[in-house]
């Protein structure tokens, strides 16, 4: 294994299900890459809502994944598993991982890595994979978004929301977002949304209808579910598509199937973490060919809110749960 690293590492592990205080530093063995894997010396790790749910005991890692939280990282490849091209050693990459990101070293599938372009920086690179893979697959893959359509995104200033705004605008899609305050609405407009609705002050269904001249949106990207589901369908026009990627408002919903049938609407959804490695590799390759050139040209970058040291992972989770951040929160793992 070329580039053999240290034997042990510091990781922020979950001592037991609970609040942010259960994230504690532990000494762990450095993992060794198996066939098709690389070992990355982590520079930064993205913080995502699934990390919070895992810490709370509500989102266990899939079989074979690390129990250490963290689904996206950036850093340098320092060791290679069997079958990985030798030229990957020493490369700076960002990677989608199934766990293990809150640590000084992390395993990734070679096919789930993307090169960090000059000028992007490792902090922003770590904020890319989870949101970019999720938005690209769900908005453009499952949601069939096309130029000239209208997209409604809930949580417009979240990591997912800000990525959806930026990516959709690059493909000439009109973007409407919902946010929980006027300040967040202003931030979403600054980031690039065409319209922002304060859902605490206005009925977003009526607002979407007004914005679209009664036609409705073509696509909704939703992280709420629950009683939002029928309201989302009411926002959609004929042949509209609802894509759900989280159930923060509840896993069950009641919908009017007759209305759905008359308007020929589609309801779909997905989760990414438990998908097979082969699927994620195909998705990474599609992103590398279609989206990554925009990153290399400097036309697409994540919205970065705050950077916390690895040792303050609990504070990073408190920040996320408070909901005041605009864009992504990341952890700095390596010094410098």
**Res 169 pLDDT > 60:** yes
- pLDDT tens figures, 313-326: 999 999 999 999 99
**Res 3 pLDDT > 70:** no
User: Which CATH number applies to 131-269: 3.40.50.720, 3.40.1110.10, 3.40.47.40, 3.60.15.10?
Assistant: 3.40.50.720
Q: At the fourth CATH level, which superfamily is domain 8-128+273-332?
A: Medium-chain alcohol dehydrogenases, catalytic domain (3.90.180.10)
**Res 180 pLDDT > 80:** yes
Mean of pLDDT over the chain: 96
Query: Quick one: average pLDDT of 26-37?
Result: 97
**Res 336 pLDDT > 80:** no
CATH code 3.90.180.10 region(s) in the chain: 8-128+273-332
Query: Quick one: average pLDDT of 163-186?
Result: 98
**Helix (H) or strand (E) run with residue 94 in it:** strand 92-96
pLDDT at 136: 98
Output the CA angle 323-327-328, nearest 5 degrees: 95
- Band of pLDDT at residue 1, cut at 50, 70 and 90: very low
- pLDDT tens figures, 94-143: 999 999 999 999 999 999 999 999 999 999 999 999 999 999 999 999 99
**Res 249 pLDDT > 50:** yes
Q: CA–CA separation, 88 vs 90, rounded Å?
A: 6
- pLDDT tens figures, 153-167: 999 999 999 999 999
CATH code 3.40.50.720 region(s) in the chain: 131-269
Task: Give the rounded percent of residues in the chain with a pLDDT score beyond 90.
Answer: 96
């Amino acid at each position: 294994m070329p580039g053999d690293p240290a034997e042990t590492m510091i990781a922020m592990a979950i001592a037991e299900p609970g609040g942010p205080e259960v994230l504690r530093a532990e000494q762990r063995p450095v993992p060794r890459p198996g066939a098709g894997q690389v070992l990355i010396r982590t520079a930064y790790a993205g913080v995502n809502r699934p990390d919070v749910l895992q810490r709370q005991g509500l989102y266990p890692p899939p079989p074979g994944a690390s129990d250490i939280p963290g689904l996206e990282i950036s850093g340098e490849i320092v060791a290679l598993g069997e079958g990985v091209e030798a030229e990957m050693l020493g490369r700076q990459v960002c990677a989608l991982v199934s766990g293990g990101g809150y640590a000084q070293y992390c395993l990734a599938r070679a096919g789930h890595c993307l090169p960090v372009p000059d000028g992007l920086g490792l902090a922003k690179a770590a904020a890319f994979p989870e949101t970019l893979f999720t938005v690209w697959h769900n908005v453009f893959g499952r949601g069939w978004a096309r130029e000239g359509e209208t997209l409604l995104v809930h949580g417009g200033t979240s990591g997912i929301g800000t990525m959806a705004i930026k990516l959709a605008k690059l493909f000439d899609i009109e973007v409407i977002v919902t946010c929980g305050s006027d300040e967040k609405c202003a931030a979403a407009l600054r980031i690039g949304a065409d319209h922002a609705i304060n859902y605490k002050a206005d009925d977003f269904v009526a607002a979407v209808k007004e914005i679209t001249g009664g036609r409705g949106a073509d696509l909704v990207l939703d992280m709420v579910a629950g009683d939002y589901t029928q309201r989302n369908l009411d926002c959609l026009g004929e042949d509209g598509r609802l894509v759900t990627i989280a159930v923060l408002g509840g896993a069950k919903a009641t919908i009017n199937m007759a209305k759905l049938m008359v308007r020929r609407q589609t309801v779909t959804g997905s989760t990414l973490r438990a998908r097979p490695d082969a699927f994620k590799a195909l998705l990474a390759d599609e992103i590398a060919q279609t989206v990554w050139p925009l990153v290399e040209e400097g036309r697409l970058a994540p919205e970065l809110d705050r950077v916390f040291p690895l040792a303050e992972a609990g504070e990073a989770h408190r920040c996320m749960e408070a909901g005041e951040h605009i864009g992504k929160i990341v952890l700095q793992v390596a010094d410098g």
